[in-house]
Structure 1
Amino acid sequence: MKALVQRAYGPPDTLTWENVPDPVPGEGEVLVRVCATSVNPYDWHFLRGEPYVARLMAGGFGLRRPPVGVLGCDLAGRVETAGTRFAPGDDVYALLPRGAHAEYVRVREDLLAPMPANLTYEQAAAMPMAGVTALLALRGTGAGQRVLVNGASGGVGTFAVQLAKALGAEVGAVCGAADAEVVRSLGADHVFDYRAEDFTRSGRRYDVLLDIAGSRSLFACRRVLARNGTFVAVGGPAGRWVQPAGHVFAALASGPLTRRRVVLADTVACQEKATLLGELAGMVERGAVTPVIDRSYPFDDLPAAFARSEAGHAKGKVVATLGVPGGAA
């Protein structure tokens, strides 16, 4: 099969197209034909090997070079081999540790969820990492609460605005002026242009602040958090040495000093990925959530998809498609 293989840290053009052996599923696994995938910051941090501090942590980064393998955590495709929960022909999607940037992947059945019936493979591939992260970040949010999404126009942000609205919250959003109309169309009640105004001095108060962009410190953000409000650390600006990990860790460490609840939306460590994908599928099928796709690339142009995602200007998700089995819709 054809796969996009990483053998060194670096820019997208260091990835190489290779013919590799077809994966053979083991016990508890099925073989899935990949019909679409996407690119996330999670993927290009692995590609770059940055921040460098991550090379000293457990989780897959090598100190000087990466373990040779295939990137890609978002998968939408069709089951090829029989398992105990899924049968050949089933349309599924999943959030994987890695491996989705290939024509086929073997997947543990407990990571798979039935694909939303009203989505294409392309749309479903936009959901796993970004959608699960947004859903984790909004855990406990309910009707009548006020939610602010800092970084509302990207992959996680576009899901977070819709999910918060679907949960009955009043939603504020921080993004660039060029993205404001898209964010309003997703349900944001008010939008801050981060270039023109300081959202931390707006005078508004929020019960939950989802910090995706990481553009302001927790000490600044506490000005817009209710006394019993929650700051949810999701990400931050990319950097070579420490960021975005440094921003997230600083927020977690500063929580006791600001007398605000600070939590981390840790999607990678989450053990309920398939359950959350099932919840997302239900919301999509009810029409409460729709994936926002910035741009779609052919599979052969996956390196260009990496470059587009890493540039940081995408509205929603950047996806790549491999074709649809049997010409199905």
Structure 2
Amino acid sequence: MKAIVQDVYGPADVLQLRDIDKPAPGDDDVLIRVRAAGVDPSVWHLMTGQPYPMRLMGFGLRTPRLRVRGWDVSGTVEAVGGNVTRFRPGDEVFGTCEGSFAEYACTPADRLAAKPPGAGFEQAAAVPISGFTALHSLREEGRIQKGQRVLIIGAGGGVGTFAVQLAKAVFEAEVTGVCGKDKTELVRSLGADHVIDYTRDDFTTDSRRYDLVLDTAGNRPLSHLRRALAPRGTLVLVGGEGGGRWFGGLHRSLGALLLSPFIGQNLRAPFVKEPKEDVLQPLADYLESGRITPVIDRTYPLSEAADAVRHWEMGHTRGKLVLTV
């Protein structure tokens, strides 16, 4: 089968389209004929091996442990393991797997859910990681409540576009989105009550204070973010961009966790795990009902995966990028 493979850490040039063996499902696995795969920040981090501490976390010290990139996936079930009863060949599914940038991929059955009939494969592939991150950050970490003032920084990105929709349509909050000038109309169309163009206005210097601040951009100091937070408000840091090769923004997360016990504000920096069926199903329901609609900047064929990553590196992606297989 064809797959996007990398043998060394490095820039997008290390991603190569090659022929490799087709995987075989274990007893608890599902073999998927991949139809689409989402491109998210984890692809870049695993491609470059940065920040360096992640290499010590089991991803490979000198070379990548997993040679095929990609996590988000949608497709049709090709085969199932002996213990799998929820799916059968021909079912349309979406979820996460190791190595979705390929024609076929295997994953445990509990990392999949049935694809909503009304959603295309490209739409479904854009949801799992980013949609789950947004939902988990708002619901579990942020403890969002109806009517709260919620500020979403990076509202036009992959996680941000889902967070705006979930905060407004599902949790009925008063939502303010922060984004660049080129994304203000997009964020407003997703349901945001207020939109701030960060190139023109500084949300930390006005008088508004927010019950919940969700920072998906990952590059503002904690001291700046806390200025926008109510005295008993909650700040949730998603991702860790910036900070160089060694820390990559992890210093902010560590600083938040160390500071939080000593102040009135609640500072959270969760390490979001892969979504499983119990979380994917609510996202599928929201997708089917129209309460969330994935924003797809553009799609690329599998052979142009390196170009997709280069586009993401430019930092102006509206929502998500998706590979079609």
Same fold judged by TM-score > 0.5?
A: yes
> Where does residue 314 of structure 2 map in the other structure?
311
Q: CA contact under 8 A between 1:15 and 1:303: conserved in structure 2?
A: yes
Q: CA contact under 8 A between 2:66 and 2:99: conserved in structure 1?
A: no
The one-letter code of the counterpart of 2:160 is G
CA–CA distance in structure 2, aligned partners of residues 211 and 273 of structure 1: 24
Taking structure 2 as the reference length, what is the TM-score of the superposition?
0.93
> Where does residue 118 of structure 1 map in the other structure?
118
CA–CA distance in structure 1, aligned partners of residues 232 and 304 of structure 2: 47
> Where does residue 326 of structure 1 map in the other structure?
none
CA–CA distance in structure 2, aligned partners of residues 102 and 204 of structure 1: 47
Structure 1: state its 5+ residue gaps.
323-329
SS in 2 for 1:214: coil
The one-letter code of the counterpart of 1:80 is E
Shift, 1:67, TM fit: 2.0
SS in 1 for 2:204: helix
The one-letter code of the counterpart of 1:79 is V
> Where does residue 242 of structure 1 map in the other structure?
247
CA–CA distance in structure 2, aligned partners of residues 50 and 290 of structure 1: 31
Q: CA contact under 8 A between 1:210 and 1:234: conserved in structure 2?
A: yes
Question: Cα 1:226–1:68, aligned 2, differ >3 Å: closer, same or farther?
Answer: closer
Q: CA contact under 8 A between 1:126 and 1:317: conserved in structure 2?
A: yes
Q: CA contact under 8 A between 2:161 and 2:319: conserved in structure 1?
A: yes
The one-letter code of the counterpart of 2:85 is T
Q: CA contact under 8 A between 2:4 and 2:302: conserved in structure 1?
A: no
- 1:300 is aligned, of 294, 298, 303, to 303
CA–CA distance in structure 1, aligned partners of residues 208 and 136 of structure 2: 24
SS in 2 for 1:69: coil
CA–CA distance in structure 2, aligned partners of residues 10 and 298 of structure 1: 21
CA–CA distance in structure 1, aligned partners of residues 285 and 122 of structure 2: 18
SS in 1 for 2:131: helix
Shift, 1:241, TM fit: 2.3
CA–CA distance in structure 2, aligned partners of residues 136 and 252 of structure 1: 18
CA–CA distance in structure 1, aligned partners of residues 57 and 74 of structure 2: 27
SS in 1 for 2:223: helix
Q: Percent of aligned positions with the same letter in both sequences?
A: 48
CA–CA distance in structure 2, aligned partners of residues 318 and 68 of structure 1: 21
CA–CA distance in structure 2, aligned partners of residues 313 and 236 of structure 1: 17
SS in 2 for 1:222: helix
CA–CA distance in structure 2, aligned partners of residues 68 and 217 of structure 1: 33
The one-letter code of the counterpart of 1:201 is T
CA–CA distance in structure 1, aligned partners of residues 135 and 229 of structure 2: 20
Shift, 1:68, TM fit: 4.9
Number of residue pairs matched? 317
> Where does residue 153 of structure 1 map in the other structure?
156
Q: Deviations over 1:225-273 (max 9, x none)?
A: 12221111102333322112222222222223442112234222x5x52
Report the aligned-residue RMSD. Answer: 1.5
SS in 2 for 1:201: coil
SS in 2 for 1:35: strand
> Where does residue 171 of structure 1 map in the other structure?
175
Moved more, 313-322 or 87-96: 87-96
Shift, 1:19, TM fit: 1.1
Q: Deviations over 1:44-72 (max 9, x none)?
A: 101011112322x3141x22222251110
Matches within 5 A, 1:214-229: 214-229=218-233
> Where does residue 129 of structure 2 map in the other structure?
129
Shift, 1:224, TM fit: 1.8
> Where does residue 234 of structure 2 map in the other structure?
230
The one-letter code of the counterpart of 1:214 is G
- 1:211 is aligned, of 211, 215, 238, to 215
CA–CA distance in structure 2, aligned partners of residues 193 and 258 of structure 1: 29
SS in 1 for 2:212: strand
- 1:142 is aligned, of 127, 132, 145, to 145
CA–CA distance in structure 1, aligned partners of residues 71 and 249 of structure 2: 19
Q: CA contact under 8 A between 1:217 and 1:251: conserved in structure 2?
A: no
> Where does residue 183 of structure 1 map in the other structure?
187
Q: CA contact under 8 A between 2:211 and 2:230: conserved in structure 1?
A: yes
Question: Cα 1:38–1:129, aligned 2, differ >3 Å: closer, same or farther?
Answer: same
SS in 2 for 1:8: coil
> Where does residue 57 of structure 2 map in the other structure?
58
Shift, 1:219, TM fit: 2.1
Shift, 1:186, TM fit: 0.4
The one-letter code of the counterpart of 1:240 is R
Moved more, 309-318 or 194-203: 194-203
Q: CA contact under 8 A between 1:222 and 1:258: conserved in structure 2?
A: no
> Where does residue 194 of structure 1 map in the other structure?
198
> Where does residue 74 of structure 1 map in the other structure?
72
Shift, 1:95, TM fit: 2.1
CA–CA distance in structure 1, aligned partners of residues 186 and 127 of structure 2: 18
